Amino acid sequence: MTAPADMARPTVLAVNAGSSSLKFALFETDGPLRRVLEGEIKGVGSPGARLYVRGFDSADNLSEPVSAPDHSAASIALMSLIERSGWHGNLSAVGHRLVHGGKDYSQPQRVDATMLAGLRAISAFDPEHLPQEILLLETFAQRFPKLPQIACFDTAFHHEMPRVAHLLPIPRRYDARGIRRYGFHGLSYTFLMAELARIDGPKAARGRVILAHLGSGASLAAVHDFKPIDTSMGLTPPRAARQ
DSSP symbols for 128-182: TTHHHHHHHHHHHHHHSTTS-EEEEETTGGGTTS-HHHH--SS-HHHHHTT-S--
Instruction: Tell me the pLDDT band of 243, cut-offs 50, 70 and 90.
Output: very low
What is the residue-averaged pLDDT of the chain? 89
Q: Is the separation of the CB atoms in 236 and 179 below 8 Å?
A: no
Q: Is the separation of the CB atoms in 91 and 9 below 8 Å?
A: no
Between 226 and 88, the higher pLDDT residue: 226
Q: What is the pLDDT of residue 1?
A: 52
Q: Kindly report, residue by residue over 196-224, the tens digit of the pLDDT.
A: 999 999 999 999 999 999 877 889 999 99
Q: Quote the CA–CA distance of 125 and 151 in Å, as a whole number.
A: 17
* 240 has a pLDDT exceeding 50: no
One-letter identity of residue 182: Y
**Domains identified in the chain and CATH numbers:** 5-153 (3.30.420.40), 162-231 (no CATH)
Q: What is the pLDDT of residue 7?
A: 53
Q: Kindly report, residue by residue over 159-194, the tens digit of the pLDDT.
A: 999 999 999 999 999 998 899 999 999 999 999 999
Q: Quote the CA–CA distance of 198 and 200 in Å, as a whole number.
A: 6
For 19-52, give the DSSP string.
SSEEEEEEEE-SSS-EEEEEEEEE-TTSTT-EEE
Percentage of the chain modeled with pLDDT above 70 = 94
Mean pLDDT value across residues 14-24: 89
CA-based nearest residue to 93, from 11, 3, 153: 11
95: helix, coil or strand?
strand
CA-based nearest residue to 43, from 64, 62, 68, 16: 68
CA-based nearest residue to 14, from 143, 140, 183: 140
Among all residues, which ones are annotated catalytic? 154
Q: Kindly report, residue by residue over 24-62, the tens digit of the pLDDT.
A: 999 999 888 889 889 999 999 999 999 999 987 777 789
Q: What is the pLDDT of residue 89?
A: 79
Mean pLDDT value across residues 86-105: 90
* 4 has a pLDDT exceeding 70: no
Mean pLDDT value across residues 214-239: 86
One-letter identity of residue 177: R
Cα 82 to its chain centre, rounded Å, is 19
Q: Kindly report, residue by residue over 100-131, the tens digit of the pLDDT.
A: 999 999 999 999 999 999 999 999 999 888 99
Q: What is the pLDDT of residue 238?
A: 59
